[in-house]
Structure 1
Amino acid sequence: MELSELEALLTPEGLRLLDAMAPVDSSDDVARAVTRLRRDGHSPELVSAVVGQARLRTRARAKFGDFADRMLFTRAGLEQATRLSIAARHAARFRDAGFVHVADLGCGIGGDALGLAGLGLRVTAVDADEVTAGIAAYNLAPFGTDVEVRHGSAQDTDLAGIDAVWLDPARRTAGHTETSRTRPDDWSPSLDWVLEVARRLPTGVKLGPGLDRELIPDDVEAQWVSADGSTVELVLWSGALAREGVRRAALVIRSDGGEGARAHELTADTDAADEPARELGAYLHEPDGAVIRARLIGDVARSLEAGMLDEHIAYLTSDAALTSPFVSTFRVREVLPADVKALSKALRERDIGRLEIKKRGVDVDPAVLRPRLKLRGSESATLLLTRIGNRRTAILADRV
C-alpha cells in the first residue's frame, strides 16, 4: 500500500465503503467488488485500497478474530504480525512482572501493541515505515492516550521512562507486499543492537524460529512458540522477563475447536539429553516443532517411556499407550516396502484410498509421491517415511 492509498482510505468515504464491504475471499469476489465500486463512480485508487483491505481483513480473521473487522493491514504486515492470542500471552509476562510502560520497537501494524494495551499497559509503539506506522495508529486508536504511535527508527527512540521493551526487528527487505529474508547484521535494527538493548532493559525479542542457536546469548530465556502444529516464532526474554532457572522453553498452542486455544509449555535450564535409539515399537511419536527447536525431545521421550527411532531423526517410538500435547502420536500397523511400486501395491491390497503422508530424514516430496501411489480404496491411514540407520523405512500407522 502506498501513502496515497492510505490517505484515500482514511477518509469518511473510504472507511464507510470498507466497513460496508462483504467478505472478500476469492478472485471472483475481488472482481465483483471492483466492478461494483467502479460502476458507482469511485476512483481506481480508492477502489484498489478498499477491496485490498477487505480481502486482507478476511485473511486476518485467522490471527485476529473479530478484531480484524475494524483493523487495517498491509500484506507483509499481516504475514509478519503475531497472532493476537500469542501477543496476549507475551503481554501477560510484562504485566505480571509489574511493568507499566512498554516500548514496542518495530511495532508493524500493531498486533503486539494490541496485546499489551489490552492488558492495561501504557505503550509507545514505533515503526520506521510511514505507512505501517499510520496503520498501527489507526489500529490502536481505541486505546486513546494509553498508546502513542510514532514514525521513527528504533535506534533513535528515547527510552527514558520506559520500563521494558518489546522488539521485533525487521528481518526482511522493506516493502508492503513481497519481501525476502536478510542476515542478522542487515536487520533493522541489527541483532547486535537489539541484544545490547536487552542487556540494559528487560526485553522480549521476537525472532524467526530458525535462528542460528550460536547467536542466542547464554543469559536469556529462549522460548520457541508453535501454533496448531506450525512453529511460528522464537522469543528471547531478558532481565526480569526471563523466568528463573529457565533457558529453554517450548510453548505449544492448539485450537480447541471453539473460539479458544489450549497452551502447554515445556521448560528446562538447558538442552535435554536425548534417549538412546531403540527398535520400532507399537507407537510412533512426532515431536512438535517447538520441542525440536528447543532441543527438549529427550524430556518428552522420557515422559512417554519412549526412545529415538534413529539417533539423528526426530521421531520417537514406544510400546506404552501414552501421548502428550508435545507430540503427534500414531499407532503403528506395520512396516511396508519403501519401493514405490511395492508400496502402491501394498496400499491397494489394504484398501487404502485416503493417505496422510509424512516424512523426516528422507528426500521425498509427498505431493510428487501421492499420484505415483495410485491410491484406491475406502480406508484411511498415515504413511510415515523415514530413515533408520541407512535404511529407508515406510511405516503405516493411524493417528491416535
Structure 2
Amino acid sequence: MSYHLSDDDVAFLRSRYGSKALQTASGLALTPSTLLADLTQLRSRYPEHAAAIAETVQARRRAAGKLRHADLLLADQTSVQQATPSPVAALRAADIVARRPGAVVHDLTCSIGSELTALAAEPGVAAVIGSDVDPVRLAMAQHNLEVSGARGAPCPTLLRADALTPTSTADVVIADPGRRNARGRVFGLEQLDPPLLELLSVYAGRTLAVKCSPGLDYRNLRTRFGFDGQVQIVSLDGGVREACLWTEVDGSPQNRASVLRTTADGRSLLYEVTSDDADDLDDPGVGEWIIDPDGAVVRAGLVRQYAHRHGLRQLDPQIAYLTGDTVPAGERGFRVLEQLPVNDRALRGALAARGCGSLEILVRGLDTDPDRLRKRLKLKGAEPYALILTRIGRSGVAFLCEPGVRAGGAGSGA
C-alpha cells in the first residue's frame, strides 16, 4: 500500500534536513523483506516522517525511466503510477503548440506536475496553470516544478480547485480523470473521476484534451454520445499508454496513432498514422515475414493505413497481423519457416524436428492460452523459435517462425 504524505511531510521533505534524510534513505534497500527493519532505522532518526521518507524514495525509484528528474521528485508511489510519462507529456505539449500557438494552457488535474513540467518547457506555450483538489499534491507539484528547472518563462500558476469548476479562461484545457475507486480500476465513462461526459459538457466550446485509459471504448463514445473530436492512441516503447480525446479539432483526422520509441541515448523518436492516410491494400496472403503492428496502431483501428504506408498486406481482413517481404524500420518481424495446422500433435512434431527448446507464442483471433500451450508442447531441444497462431477465414492456422528481429531505425525525432 502506498503511504499518503501529509502537508507536514512535504514541508519537511522540502527542507534542507528533509533533503539529507532522503539522501540517507536512498542507501537503504526498502524491499518487502527489509522494509520493517529499514523503517525502524529511519524512525530512530526521523520519528515523525520515517514513512514519508521511505515512500518518497520508493516513488523515486519507481519513477526512474518514466519521469524526468526522478531522483529529485517529491511523490508517492500512487501518484507516480498515475503520472504521464515525460515523453508522452512532451508530445502533448508540442501538439498543443501546433494546434494553438501561444496558448494559455490549464491542467485541471495536475497532481505532482508531470504534465506541467512539459508544458512549461515548451517555448510556444504562453502561460501554464495547474490545479488540483489535493493540497498535498499541489505542494509536491510546486517542488517538482522547481527542481525540473521549469521556473523560467512561463512560470506555472498553481491553484486548488475542482476540475468541474472552471477557474480560468485558458485557451486549452487538459484533464486526466481518475480511473480507480475503492474497489480497483474502473472502465465505465460515468465511473471516471470526474466523469468524462461531465468534463466534455462543462468545457464544451473550448479546446480540451482528456487523457483516458487506452482501453476506452471510443467507438461507443462516438456512436452513443456524439463525440466528434480526435481520438489519439499513444504508445511508448511498445506499451500503449493512453487514449487522448481532443475536442475542437476541425479538419484533424478522427483517429490517430502516435508511436514513441526511446533511443539508447535517451531521445524520443516518433511516427504517426492517421485515419486520413490511404488504406488500399493488395489481397490478403502470406509473405516472407509476419509483422505485429504496434498496439497504438491496432487500438486506433489504423492497421490498413499502416500496412499501405509500408507496402504490406493482411493475413486476413479481420486480423491485425501483417505480412510482406520486408520489415518496416524499427518494427519487429518474424520470418516464416512453415505453416501448420493448429493442433498439438502437428505442432509438437514440427518443433521436435527442429530441436526447439524455447518458444515465443503470439496469438490473435483464437482462444488459446500461450503458457498452457507451451507446457503441452513439451519442448526438449535447445533452439529458439516463434509460433504465431491466428485465424484466416474461419480456420485456425499456425506459423512456425524464426525468433523475432527488429529492423534498424525507429521513426523521426519528436
1:232 matched to which residue of 2?
241
Q: From the superposition, tell whether residues 201 and 105 of structure 1 become closer, same or farther in structure 2 (CA, over 3 Å).
A: same
2:50 matched to which residue of 1?
47
* Mapping of residues 278-357 of structure 1, within 5 Å: 278-318=284-324, 320-325=325-330, 328-357=332-361
Q: From the superposition, tell whether residues 146 and 24 of structure 1 become closer, same or farther in structure 2 (CA, over 3 Å).
A: farther
**Cα deviation, residue 273, structure 1:** 5.3
**Cα deviation, residue 223, structure 1:** 1.3
Letter in 1 for 2:173: V
More helix by share: 1
Q: Would the aligned equivalents of 2:364 and 2:390 in 1 still touch at CA under 8 Å?
A: yes
* Post-superposition CA distance 1:287-342 (Å, at most 9, x none): 21111122211122223333321222211223x224255x5322111123432344
Q: In structure 1, how many angstroms separate the alpha carbons of the residues matched to 2:187 and 2:354?
A: 48
**Cα deviation, residue 58, structure 1:** 0.8
Letter in 1 for 2:145: L
Letter in 2 for 1:164: V
Q: From the superposition, tell whether residues 47 and 91 of structure 1 become closer, same or farther in structure 2 (CA, over 3 Å).
A: same
Q: From the superposition, tell whether residues 245 and 95 of structure 1 become closer, same or farther in structure 2 (CA, over 3 Å).
A: closer
**Cα deviation, residue 3, structure 1:** 5.7
Letter in 1 for 2:58: R
3-state SS of paired residue (2:58) = helix
TM-score (norm 2): 0.84
3-state SS of paired residue (1:27) = coil
Query: Which has the higher mean CA deviation after the structures are superposed, 287-296 or 192-201?
Result: 192-201
Query: Which has the higher mean CA deviation after the structures are superposed, 4-13 or 346-355?
Result: 4-13
**Cα deviation, residue 57, structure 1:** 0.8
2:177 matched to which residue of 1?
169
Letter in 2 for 1:292: V
Structure 1, gaps ≥5 residues long: none
Give the share of equivalent positions with the same residue, in percent. 33
Of the three residues 117, 128, 146, the one matched with 2:155 is 146
**Cα deviation, residue 30, structure 1:** 3.6
Of the three residues 128, 134, 139, the one matched with 2:139 is 134
Q: In structure 2, how many angstroms separate the alpha carbons of the residues matched to 1:6 and 1:390?
A: 60
2:112 matched to which residue of 1?
109
* Post-superposition CA distance 1:13-55 (Å, at most 9, x none): 43321133237574345455334324x4432x52222112211
**Cα deviation, residue 103, structure 1:** 0.7
Q: In structure 2, how many angstroms separate the alpha carbons of the residues matched to 1:390 and 1:227?
A: 34
Letter in 1 for 2:163: A
* Mapping of residues 185-264 of structure 1, within 5 Å: 185-212=190-217, 213-216=219-222, 217=226, 219-239=228-248, 242=249, 244-264=251-271
**Cα deviation, residue 183, structure 1:** 2.0
Q: Would the aligned equivalents of 1:282 and 1:317 in 2 still touch at CA under 8 Å?
A: yes
Of the three residues 362, 381, 385, the one matched with 1:381 is 385
Q: From the superposition, tell whether residues 186 and 193 of structure 1 become closer, same or farther in structure 2 (CA, over 3 Å).
A: same
Q: From the superposition, tell whether residues 243 and 260 of structure 1 become closer, same or farther in structure 2 (CA, over 3 Å).
A: farther
Q: In structure 2, how many angstroms separate the alpha carbons of the residues matched to 1:53 and 1:341?
A: 53
Q: In structure 2, how many angstroms separate the alpha carbons of the residues matched to 1:139 and 1:396?
A: 50
Q: Would the aligned equivalents of 2:10 and 2:136 in 1 still touch at CA under 8 Å?
A: no
2:88 matched to which residue of 1?
86
Letter in 1 for 2:105: V
Q: In structure 2, how many angstroms separate the alpha carbons of the residues matched to 1:384 and 1:25?
A: 41
Q: Would the aligned equivalents of 1:249 and 1:267 in 2 still touch at CA under 8 Å?
A: yes
Q: Would the aligned equivalents of 2:341 and 2:396 in 1 still touch at CA under 8 Å?
A: no
Q: From the superposition, tell whether residues 2 and 257 of structure 1 become closer, same or farther in structure 2 (CA, over 3 Å).
A: closer
The count of corresponding residues between Structure 1 and Structure 2 is: 388
Q: Would the aligned equivalents of 1:91 and 1:119 in 2 still touch at CA under 8 Å?
A: yes
3-state SS of paired residue (2:194) = coil
3-state SS of paired residue (1:62) = coil
3-state SS of paired residue (1:204) = strand
Q: In structure 1, how many angstroms separate the alpha carbons of the residues matched to 2:305 and 2:41?
A: 58
Q: From the superposition, tell whether residues 352 and 26 of structure 1 become closer, same or farther in structure 2 (CA, over 3 Å).
A: farther
Q: In structure 1, how many angstroms separate the alpha carbons of the residues matched to 2:97 and 2:285?
A: 48
Q: In structure 1, how many angstroms separate the alpha carbons of the residues matched to 2:28 and 2:236?
A: 25
Q: From the superposition, tell whether residues 3 and 298 of structure 1 become closer, same or farther in structure 2 (CA, over 3 Å).
A: closer
3-state SS of paired residue (1:279) = coil
1:61 matched to which residue of 2?
64
Q: From the superposition, tell whether residues 41 and 303 of structure 1 become closer, same or farther in structure 2 (CA, over 3 Å).
A: closer
**Cα deviation, residue 82, structure 1:** 0.9
3-state SS of paired residue (1:209) = coil
Letter in 1 for 2:131: V
* Post-superposition CA distance 1:88-141 (Å, at most 9, x none): 111122234323421101112211111101225422111123433332233224
* Mapping of residues 260-271 of structure 1, within 5 Å: 260-269=267-276
Structure 2, gaps ≥5 residues long: 406-414
Letter in 2 for 1:230: G
CA RMSD of aligned residues (A): 2.7
Q: From the superposition, tell whether residues 168 and 290 of structure 1 become closer, same or farther in structure 2 (CA, over 3 Å).
A: same
Q: Would the aligned equivalents of 1:9 and 1:50 in 2 still touch at CA under 8 Å?
A: no
Q: From the superposition, tell whether residues 236 and 370 of structure 1 become closer, same or farther in structure 2 (CA, over 3 Å).
A: same
Q: In structure 1, how many angstroms separate the alpha carbons of the residues matched to 2:5 and 2:401?
A: 56
Q: From the superposition, tell whether residues 25 and 360 of structure 1 become closer, same or farther in structure 2 (CA, over 3 Å).
A: farther
**Cα deviation, residue 250, structure 1:** 0.8
Q: In structure 1, how many angstroms separate the alpha carbons of the residues matched to 2:82 and 2:313?
A: 36
Q: In structure 2, how many angstroms separate the alpha carbons of the residues matched to 1:80 and 1:219?
A: 27
Q: In structure 2, how many angstroms separate the alpha carbons of the residues matched to 1:273 and 1:89?
A: 25
Q: In structure 2, how many angstroms separate the alpha carbons of the residues matched to 1:23 and 1:87?
A: 31
